[in-house]
Amino acid sequence: MDRSRIEQFAAGAGVPGQAIAGLTKDDLNARPIPGTWSIQQIIIHLMDSDLIGTDRMKRIAAEENPTLIGYNETAFANKLFPERLDPVLACEVFEKNRLLTAEILRALRDEAFERTGTHSEDGAVSLGVMIKKYIEHLDHHMTFIRKKRELLGKPL
């Protein structure tokens, strides 16, 4: 694996916090595109997803072919009260978790990135692929946040 991906992963740590800067509670919970998640829901989803993803990364690095359980992100967004959670705190959790996980990843030997776990929905996945997936996941959701901010008249 290209170790520069670890730095890409770490560089995303502050992105959610920057993405919500200057937004009010109403902005965060607005739905400028009907039928889609609010910025608040996306931020909480990013935190939840990264916590789950980094757990998977650490388990792949430390355990022999761990089972990686999928989760229903829509159920999390609809049933775990993301609108009530503190988005700034969620961004801080995201940031600290990414930075700490990056420290672990930097310390691993190159062969660790070829280690795999078995995802309950996707099958075998390597640590290197998992890191790439979470870099792309943040980028994917930032596209939606940028669009929603533009529609709210508050572009990044």
HSE (CB half, 13 Å, CA atoms) of 41? 18
Looking at residues 37-58, what average pLDDT do you find? 98
Q: Which pair of tokens denotes residue 116? A: 């795999």
Q: Is the pLDDT of residue 1 over 90?
A: no
Residues 6+ apart with CB under 8 A from 115: 60, 61, 126, 127
Domains defined along the chain, listed by start: 4-151 (1.20.120.450)
Q: What is the b/e burial string over 55-78, where b = at least 16 CB atoms within 10 angstroms of the residue's CB?
A: ebbebbbeeeebebeeeeeeebbe
Please compute the mean of the pLDDT values over residues 93-105 and round it to a whole number.
Answer: 98
Return all residues near 108 (Cβ < 8 A) that are at least 6 apart: 61, 127
Q: What is the mean pLDDT of residues 120-124?
A: 96
